[in-house]
Chain A
Amino acid sequence: EVQLLESGGGLVQPGGSLRLSCAASGFTFSSYAMSWVRQAPGKGLEWVSAISGSGGSTYYADSVKGRFTISRDNSKNTLYLQMNSLRAEDTAVYYCAKLTDTYSSSYGPPFDYWGQGTLVTVSS
């Protein structure tokens, strides 16, 4: 059974940093691209970042580029999101998600498994 368990959320002041983790199990972690998606309170889904199975390719939404860094440790079956220079508008539930396949320049696969999310609150 595929399981994704996020951790690391919490309350942080504007300008602060936080690192989220997503522990994966039930599948061959290194074979699949992974992603982070967030959802502000009462709002819709917003894609944040993605990383290939090997970790050699990464993509970011414009809203987080230069502030967030996605990475993975395939030996630990864990996905990370390092968030720096946090702003109030980064307040959201952050989900990690598994992609069904690798992405390419012409195709972005769907996200077939999601974690339950971890809440990040940026406030003074």
Chain B
Amino acid sequence: SYVLTQPPSVSVAPGQTARITCGGNNIGSKSVHWYQQKPGQAPVLVVYDDSDRPSGIPERFSGSNSGNTATLTISRVEAGDEADYYCQVWDSSSDHHWVFGGGTKLTVL
């Protein structure tokens, strides 16, 4: 089955740029979605189809996807961005199902 690999943690100072990666075999050929989850809350979709933003999500959140790595970029990081972030893809290689990455804890220093 398809595996998505994320770094367990990323730390960044307020006002700086955070980059959270999601690795997978030829992930550039898939559509990647990203979710933000704060403690005790349900996940929130922040980027879909590699680089699109749902309404209400700040422009500070952006995404890219190429080769074997997809990246969620958060510009001008704020304290409120501290959360777990998960990438997700649709795997149709063997059986049809969604796959989540293991998640990355973003810490704002």
Contact = CB atoms under 8 A, between A and B. Distances in A.
Tell me what chain B mostly uses at the interface: helix, strand, loop, or mixed: strand
A61 B100 contact: no
A110 B45 contact: yes
Contacts of B49: 110
Interface in A37-71: 37, 44-47, 50, 59-62
Interface residues of B, number: 29
A108 B90 contact: yes
State which size class the interface on A falls in: 20 to 34
Interface of B: 1, 31, 33, 35, 37, 41-45, 48-49, 54, 84, 86, 88-92, 95-103
Contacts of A45: 35, 37, 43, 86, 88, 100, 103
Contact of B95 (A62, A100, A108): A62
Nearest to A114: B42
Contacts of A116: 41-42
